[in-house]
Structure 1
Amino acid sequence: MPKHTDDSAPSGDTLKELRLGRGLTQEQLAERAGTSLGVVKKLERGGTARMESYHALARALGVRTSRLFEPAGPHSSTRTDDDNIDLMPLRQALAPAVTFTGCLRVGSPDPEPDLTRLRATATDMGLAYRRDDYGRVAELLPSLVRAAHDAVDHFAGAPQHGEALRLRSNVLQMAGRYLTQVRAYDLAHTALRDAVQDAVHVDDKGAVAGAVYQLGWLLMRQGRLDEAEQVSIATADAVEPRIYQATGASLGAWGKLLVHASAAAARNNRDQEAREMLRLGRAAGVALGGGQAVEASSWGRFDWRTVAFQGIENQLVARRPDRVLGLSARLPAPKDKKERLFMRRHLLDVAQAHVMLRHLDEATGVLWSLRNETPEWLRHQRMAADTFRDIIRTSKRARLSPQHRDLAAFFGPE
């Protein structure tokens, strides 16, 4: 799997201008933000850092995190073509070349697309994604996307056209989800944009909500926090159900959008808005009772714990590790492996909070457990790798333990 880099980077000039406008030295800003002087110097020279560093600096400056991000020029460093080569079949399917007569499709379409077979293949791919079988997903996606395009074209004007559009929207959502996971952001945006358009065309609010949920996740990873919050809120308003008459699916879609809006607002130093979105999301969780809404190929799972996890994550963004651990301790222990997997992203927040409090053995233990339980997923979590490197940098050990050596080999060089 190729390495991918974020497509957005903050302007060093913007950071310097804001710092000087507040009469701060680089040392004073670093101290206020709880980060190192080296990070401030690096960013003002046009370098990059973790998103968490941008949050902390923006909070110290009293601005939205998005204020630090401005349109940048071409990359100053040379990038390889590895991602273009490895993703070539999927790139050809999602963003085909265009000629005078339309899109240039690779391969010959089936004479009569079989929508039942395509739905079964899409279901298989969704299950593979849930199992973290990204190799299987990468294998299925290009041909499935092409087949979905062919089906939409074949049934144009026929009664099956709406069904074909719904199927393609579903396939494109899964493509966008996978591509965001492997950090092929521009290609993911193409897939999700087209998924939204297909869902709107057939007036499927549930599919629109699912595609926008994925888009919000992508926008947050790119640092486009204002847009992530806005698209999530606008779509949540459009699909808001009547709480006590709603289906589980509609409650789940609405709740997940509100949770994403809260995540974006928290990262953008809009704490009041983040709390308000969580309050609304909690209503969706309460309406589900002890149940769980699941949409495997779209927004995943939602229940009251989804809201609780996001509230804890917001505390981490605000650099309150004691609150993270205190709130996490109140959650019921997972009853089985399935529940443990549901909370794995939350466990990365717990590990990071332990590092912030210098509980390095506890943080290592969390990563070690995830390494054994869900290695393929963990391999693509940049936060996990960053947390491990924080452990090593903070540790006073003269020699690495066997666990540390195993994790170092797993995450690879920085």
Structure 2
Amino acid sequence: MSETGKSLKEIRKRRGLTQSELSTASGVSLSIIRKLEQGERESARLETLRKLAATLRVPTMRLSSGPNGEGPIVGTVERWEAVRHALERPPLDPELSDEAPTVAGVRQAFAKAEPLFQKSQYAKLAVVLPPLLRDAEALGDEGRPIRVRLMQLAGLLMVQTRQFDTAEVALSRALDDAADRLEGAATIHTQCWLLLRQGQLEAALDLAVRWSDETEPRMSRATPSELSTWGLTLLNVTAAAVRNSQPGQAADALRLAKAAAVALGREYKSETDAIRAFGPTTVHLKRTENAGVVDRPDVVLNLAERVPVSAIPPSSNRNRYELDIADALTRTGRYADGFGTLVSIQRAAPEWLPNQTYARTVLQRIVEGRRTLTPEMRQMAADIHLEL
């Protein structure tokens, strides 16, 4: 029997529940519970473990046997090979050039590439990022600020495409070069997300809490950059806590994040963070996400009515928000509407969607809820690597 199965059986019995009663209370199938406790399954998806943990009143990681992040999809390793080399291999024999890179030139090239990050245009980024990274490396100490920003974004891309080891390299280098705690916090945001994607919920929560303490400003004289940094760190706390079945801590962190957003009064993008913004809309997106995590599709749809998708600029945050809506629609039996939302995301971010396990989960629920599948549904399943 796996550690997950042992823990589940022990805690279930301590709570005085039968397998059938736990299944009814948690919404997890009796078959999965039996297979876990009998050792026929080593573990389960984090969503399943969270449901069981929430019912048993323990942190999710009490039922987890360790990191279980899903790896990259087919073709990812080959596509990003040049980027990985630029991140991981030191320049052993730099090429001589009459036109050495300059800070101004690299900064200008970065500005041109930044919209590609916002729109998740991976094919183009895989081409433009390696020379950018090499040029930033060649700048030495003078190019440290732009190099930190590039490493932050490279780490973000590696997390998005589930290349976790390479993400660690990029984020570690960005943190090592950070000039102050605000610049460091911009890297920690992605580090927390990396840990969440790997299923390391307690590690993510500990890291987020530590940095929220480090970056908490004096509200009476806080700058917009300080408020934004603290607010984003609090959103890391709430994301990790809600997944680890610690609703009180998740609610407290979200409340403080809302206070920071109200103090800002608008969406604000800090100079120390290359891609993220923070403000009332960002807090709303996280509140919606949390509602989806705890299986409240009614709340997700209610919140979505307050901030329509069209009001949010294109970004991976917007894509995630739409996935939350698609998930809520399918959970309430509105399969056609849920699929329509998936189609909308695919049109806006065709390279981002296949990397999302969440998207496959939503489409699988649509497949299971319909008697027949349309050709468009079958095509999307192929596009996002869902086996029918």
**TM-score of Structure 1 vs Structure 2, range by shorter chain:** 0.7 to 0.9
Residue number in structure 1 paired with 2:60:
65
User: Which digits, 9 at most, give the CA deviation of each residue in 1:219-266, with x for residues without a partner?
Assistant: 111111122122222222222234354443332222111111101100
The one-letter code of the counterpart of 1:259 is L
1:142 correspondence with 2:130: yes
Residue number in structure 2 paired with 1:32:
25
Match of 2:40 among 22, 41, 45: 45
Q: How does 1:232-247 map to 2 (within 5 A)?
A: 232-243=208-219, 245-247=221-223
1:385 correspondence with 2:369: no
Shift of 1:299: 4.8
Q: For the structure 1 residues 116 and 224, does the alpha-carbon distance in structure 2 shift closer, same or farther, using more than 3 Å as the test?
A: same
- Taking the aligned partners of 2:297 and 2:30, their CA distance within structure 1 comes to 22
Describe the SS at the equivalent of 2:149.
helix
The one-letter code of the counterpart of 1:66 is M
Gaps in structure 2 of 5+ consecutive residues? none
Q: For the structure 1 residues 404 and 266, does the alpha-carbon distance in structure 2 shift closer, same or farther, using more than 3 Å as the test?
A: same
Match of 2:327 among 344, 349, 352: 352
- Taking the aligned partners of 1:292 and 1:253, their CA distance within structure 2 comes to 10
Match of 2:374 among 401, 408, 414: 401
- Taking the aligned partners of 2:373 and 2:92, their CA distance within structure 1 comes to 52
Residue number in structure 2 paired with 1:120:
108
1:260 correspondence with 2:207: no
User: Which digits, 9 at most, give the CA deviation of each residue in 1:95-146, with x for residues without a partner?
Assistant: 33xxxxxx56365376854222222223333221112211121222233333
Note if contact 2:35-2:41 (Cα within 8 Å) is conserved in structure 1: yes
User: Which digits, 9 at most, give the CA deviation of each residue in 1:177-211, with x for residues without a partner?
Assistant: 00000000121112112211110xx3x23211110
Note if contact 2:4-2:43 (Cα within 8 Å) is conserved in structure 1: no
Q: How does 1:84-99 map to 2 (within 5 A)?
A: 85-96=78-89
Paired residue total = 382
Q: How does 1:133-282 map to 2 (within 5 A)?
A: 133-152=121-140, 161=141, 163-199=142-178, 202=179, 204-243=180-219, 245-282=221-258
Shift of 1:216: 0.8
The one-letter code of the counterpart of 1:231 is L
State the TM-score, normalized to the length of structure 2: 0.86
Q: Percent identity?
A: 32
Note if contact 1:93-1:106 (Cα within 8 Å) is conserved in structure 2: no
- Taking the aligned partners of 2:324 and 2:67, their CA distance within structure 1 comes to 30
1:283 correspondence with 2:276: no
The CA RMSD over aligned residues, in Å, is 3.2
Note if contact 1:312-1:323 (Cα within 8 Å) is conserved in structure 2: yes
Q: For the structure 1 residues 400 and 19, does the alpha-carbon distance in structure 2 shift closer, same or farther, using more than 3 Å as the test?
A: same
Gaps in structure 1 of 5+ consecutive residues? 1-8, 97-102, 153-160
Residue number in structure 2 paired with 1:338:
313
- Taking the aligned partners of 1:72 and 1:51, their CA distance within structure 2 comes to 10
